[in-house]
């Protein structure tokens, strides 16, 4: 079994959304602006011609991560490495 899978995804969408995040003082949650990004598999290397269908979707409230995707061009490609982590007990 492979220890990791390397794939490439392209940014297909970034949309403003309302989300929740922990309050800075740790006393609960607050409503905050966020974005939803959708990334779609790119056909070709490194994953090959059998790239799966589907998408990766993330809702992001962290300001620096939001900026990272908001400033990217639609179609920007990203390498993604999937590596198993030990199960939590």
- Residues 16, 39: Cα–Cα separation, whole Å: 15
Give the tokens for residue 84. Answer: 């198993």
Coil/strand/helix, residue 63: helix
State pLDDT tens for residues 4-62: 888 889 999 999 999 988 888 999 999 999 999 999 988 876 666 665 678 999 999 99
Give the tokens for residue 42. Answer: 């790119």
Give φ, ψ of 67 to 5 degrees. -60, -40
CATH of segment(s) 5-82 = 2.40.50
Question: What pTM, to 2 d.p., does this model score?
Answer: 0.78
- Residues 76, 84: Cα–Cα separation, whole Å: 26
């Amino acid at each position: 079994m492979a220890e990791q899978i390397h794939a490439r995804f392209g940014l297909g969408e970034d949309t403003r959304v309302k989300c929740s995040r922990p309050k800075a003082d740790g006393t609960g949650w607050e409503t905050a602006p966020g974005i939803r990004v959708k990334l779609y598999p790119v056909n070709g290397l490194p994953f090959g011609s059998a790239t799966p269908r589907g998408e990766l979707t993330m809702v992001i409230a962290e300001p620096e991560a939001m900026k990272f995707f908001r400033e990217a061009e639609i179609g920007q490609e990203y390498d993604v490495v999937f590596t198993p982590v030990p199960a939590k007990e």
